[in-house]
Structure 1
Amino acid sequence: MLQPIFQDLTSFNTLGLRSRAAAFVRHESASELSALSDVADRFGRVFILGGGSNVVLASQLDSLVVKVEARGVQLWSETDSELVIEAQAGEVWHDFVAQCVDKGWDGLENLALIPGTVGAAPVQNIGAYGVELDQRFHSLVAWDLHERRQVEMSAGECRFSYRDSFFKHAQPGRWLIVAVRFRLPKPWRAVTTYPDLQRHPLLARSAGAVTARQVFDAVCEIRRRKLPDPAVLGNAGSFFKNPIVSAGRHDSIEAEHPGLVAYPQEHGFYKLAAGWLIEHTGWKGRRVGPVGVHDRQALVLVNYGGANAENIRNLADAIRADVAARYGVMLEQEPVAVV
């Protein structure tokens, strides 16, 4: 029988924010799902916690916190045109990607070193260095805690969009992702269109065809150079989404601020580089008490030690206000605020 316990969550979130849960259970096996629904019925609110890399936890959580720790990876199916790999939701995302590269299951290498778990990846629809999760997604298995049933969901049912999915808008705490399946194309082709990859010496000096291992190693080197290690300096990765604006809005901002970094999107829209906006309002490297903006990547807010959710919220609000005042653009927070 699952028995909720009191749990300090400070080490369970990559921002390292001080937080406690009054009721906490671990999910380690599909055999526990029915019992998990029994426990959830006793609480008004449920929060599903993966690797804690995309959350801002309040100092005290009164909801039931379910820590997803189920593990396992398998080749689910294979045809002449694709491999489908299934991973349990509690697998550490980077370790899973590394395992795929080791086994020659190529296609996820651009997503190396993204913190978090496999189960959290489709919630956020993660992406990096030219590859988005929904481009490699096959299906997932989820448990409906309310109706006590297991369902399989396709990409269409997950409603993926930029850093968004069905799960971000569903009733909080209702769905627990059990396993995720990834479709990896055969033959594999390296995705090296991202400028940082094109310039990387490991790929630029490749005598023959670029390998997935080389892409993986290059992505890891770039991320380690640009982004702080959460084990050393608490952070949640990119804290703000890159805002999407119309062509007209982009043109008017660029006219006032030459050098604006932006990327053309479909249907005449532009994605603005939120890091550029933050840096050019003077926030890069600034510290406010126990929190601040990283000195090498303005998109990353960091905890220098002892911070709580209020410290992070106040810093984020100040950054948003300055960006809005200067550029007329409102930044949207990427990590989920959990209260």
Structure 2
Amino acid sequence: MNSDFQIREHVDLSPYNTMGLAAKARYFISLKSVDQLKEFIADKIWQENQRWILGGGSNVLFIDDFDGLVVHVDIPGKEVVQESDDLVLLKAGAGENWHELVMFCVDKGWGGIENLSLIPGSVGAAPIQNIGAYGTELVDVFHVLEAVNVETGEIHTFTKNECKFGYRDSIFKQEARGKYVVVSVTLRLQKDPQINTVYKALSEALESKGISTPTIKDVSDTVIEIRRSKLPDPAEIGNTGSFFKNPVISESIFDELKERFPDIPHYSVESGAKIPAAWLIDQCGWKGKRFGDAGVHKMQALVIVNYGEATGSEIWSLAQRIQASVEDKFGISLVPEVNVVGKTA
């Protein structure tokens, strides 16, 4: 075994998940290079235990202790792999902090991910979730990623089509779940950026600041301001950001709901209507509710928070109660955006 890293036992995971849950991992290892990962795949502990691959920990809910191996992917690095007069292909290690990468690109004047400012988590987790916000998704700037096969240790390069991106979804949450570890992501960025202000809240905020021809820095700064005004900082109060996906329903079901709830907001999408999950949850009276140290944020109903000592099972119980109430009132099933890990999930 490489002396540069070590396997730890019975490790408290609270520093490694933004909900701040004190679940324990039977085994834990932090890997800082592809070579370390490929070497460790041959190890007995890797081969004989169930595994959870952990990035920034911003999209995971540990319901209880994890009786297996948690692999913290902490591979750093940024490299321009191709550049022309108008495009840059930027390769980043899976362990890079996503927001810091966005700030790096904004400072360079490379456009495409400025709308994704202040999203917590790591670069490696971004394509798994196909992160998105304020009118932009990762798929819009994605070029390729490299991932290591967990059985063979071989590196496979996935193209955009091979990743099968969907709404907060990818092949890595479906048929390739648990079969690969993402080690790098390459983004296709613009040197002469096309500014995306289609998202209403963003365009209105820019307009209120008197900015008619925004730069990517203007967009980034404004997104950061909006997010900070609506979403709690995980460093101050434990949370995973948006807990549920915004549900997509058929036009016929939406029309029926519109008759019962004339004020129901929606966004038209190819397959029907996308309903803000936050609105549904708020209409069911959950915003600001607290049960012990588990609660729903007072400013954003889509965010479930840990006020300090909540357990994963308490957070999950609250989430299930929210799901049941939305289902009962609207007939809509809310699907968690977070990965729920544990025996009772």
- TM-score over 0.5 for the alignment? yes
**Mapping for residues 199-278 of structure 1, pairs under 5 Å:** 199-201=204-206, 204-206=209-211, 209-267=213-271, 269-278=272-281
Match of 1:329 among 306, 312, 332: 332
Match of 2:320 among 317, 322, 325: 317
Match of 2:106 among 92, 101, 110: 101
Q: For residue 280 of structure 1, what is the aligned residue in structure 2?
A: 283
Q: Structure 1: state its 5+ residue gaps.
A: none
> Cα RMSD between the aligned structures?
1.4
2:303 equivalent to 1:307: no
What SS does structure 2 have at the residue aligned with 1:95?
helix
Q: Return the offset for 1:104.
A: 1.5
- Partners of 1:193 and 1:36 lie apart in 2 by 45
Q: Contact (CA 8 Å) 1:46, 1:172: kept in 2 or not?
A: no
Q: For residue 55 of structure 2, what is the aligned residue in structure 1?
A: 50
What SS does structure 2 have at the residue aligned with 1:98?
helix
Q: Contact (CA 8 Å) 1:203, 1:215: kept in 2 or not?
A: no
Q: Deviation per CA, 1:294-326, whole angstroms, max 9, x where unpaired? A: 010000000011111110111011101110110
Q: For residue 202 of structure 2, what is the aligned residue in structure 1?
A: 197
Q: Deviation per CA, 1:4-56, whole angstroms, max 9, x where unpaired? A: 21211012110111211110111101221221212354323111000100000
Q: Contact (CA 8 Å) 1:46, 1:174: kept in 2 or not?
A: no
Match of 1:32 among 29, 33, 36: 36
Match of 1:84 among 85, 89, 92: 89
1:293 partner letter: V
- Partners of 1:101 and 1:306 lie apart in 2 by 37
Q: For residue 147 of structure 2, what is the aligned residue in structure 1?
A: 142
2:6 equivalent to 1:3: yes
Q: Contact (CA 8 Å) 1:243, 1:273: kept in 2 or not?
A: yes
2:103 partner letter: A
Q: TM-score, normalised by structure 1?
A: 0.96
Q: Contact (CA 8 Å) 1:290, 1:304: kept in 2 or not?
A: yes
- Partners of 1:202 and 1:260 lie apart in 2 by 26
What SS does structure 2 have at the residue aligned with 1:83?
strand
What SS does structure 1 have at the residue aligned with 2:41?
helix
Equivalent pairs, count: 337
- Partners of 1:83 and 1:171 lie apart in 2 by 29
1:101 partner letter: V
What SS does structure 2 have at the residue aligned with 1:316?
helix
2:272 equivalent to 1:296: no
What SS does structure 2 have at the residue aligned with 1:173?
coil
What SS does structure 2 have at the residue aligned with 1:200?
helix
Q: Contact (CA 8 Å) 1:202, 1:218: kept in 2 or not?
A: no
2:330 partner letter: Y
2:17 equivalent to 1:13: yes
1:183 partner letter: R
- Partners of 1:202 and 1:66 lie apart in 2 by 45
What SS does structure 2 have at the residue aligned with 1:38?
coil
Q: Contact (CA 8 Å) 1:203, 1:214: kept in 2 or not?
A: no
What SS does structure 2 have at the residue aligned with 1:105?
coil
Q: Contact (CA 8 Å) 1:203, 1:210: kept in 2 or not?
A: no
What SS does structure 1 have at the residue aligned with 2:79?
strand
List structure 1 segments (4+ residues) > 3 angstroms apart after TM superposition.
170-173, 201-204
2:35 partner letter: S
- Partners of 2:292 and 2:31 lie apart in 1 by 36
**Mapping for residues 132-211 of structure 1, pairs under 5 Å:** 132-170=137-175, 172-201=177-206, 204-206=209-211, 209-211=213-215
Q: Return the offset for 1:70.
A: 1.0
Q: For residue 117 of structure 1, what is the aligned residue in structure 2?
A: 122
| Range with bigger deviation, 310-319 or 167-176 | 167-176
Match of 2:136 among 109, 131, 134: 131
Q: TM-score, normalised by structure 2?
A: 0.94
Q: Return the offset for 1:204.
A: 4.7
2:216 partner letter: A
Q: Return the offset for 1:187.
A: 2.8
What SS does structure 1 have at the residue aligned with 2:233?
coil
1:171/1:201 CA distance change after superposition, 3 Å: closer
| Amino-acid identity (%) | 43
